[in-house]
Amino acid sequence: MIDAFLAKKYIDKCQGSRFDPIFLRILGLFEMLDHVKTETDFQVVDPYFEGMFKHGHEQFTTLLKACNKVVTNRLFLWFLERHNHPLLDSLDLSVVNLGSGKRVVVKGGRFDKQYQITVARRMPHDHEDPDCIF
């Protein structure tokens, strides 16, 4: 999913031989997003965006740029938008592969017009849906 060469190059350039736990958490988040397929998956990933990092926008931009999965990139941005995360304003999206056209993430999900993906119909704390059971 993430080009391993680019990820290694980024680690070498920015951290040298130093272990960077923030980078590894960000990489783990991208890997989780790559496996989101069901409404339950959305609910599992959602809390990670609630308490997401308040810094490191360059690391996120680098990984978004290195990620070759359109759906993963769109999901990442959708979750940022869902949580009204300030990181969204500082990302350089001109270098991110968002592809074109619609993508199905969850069969039977609701369609998000901005990111052109289907997402879970029901999410925790989603008060705009009157049928929400959470």
The structure tokens listed for 41 are 């998956």
pLDDT of amino acid 110: 94
What pLDDT digit, counting tens, does each position of 11-48 carry?
555 555 455 677 777 788 888 999 999 999 999 999 88
Domain boundaries, the chain: 4-97
Concatenating the DSSP letter of every residue in 43-54 gives HHHHHHHHT--S
**pLDDT, averaged across the chain:** 79
> pTM (2 decimals)?
0.78
> What is the radius of gyration, based on Cα positions, of the chain?
15
User: In which band, very low, low, confident or very high, does the pLDDT at 50 lie, cut at 50, 70 and 90?
Assistant: confident
pLDDT of amino acid 120: 93
What pLDDT digit, counting tens, does each position of 71-114 carry?
999 999 999 999 888 888 888 889 899 999 999 999 999 999 99
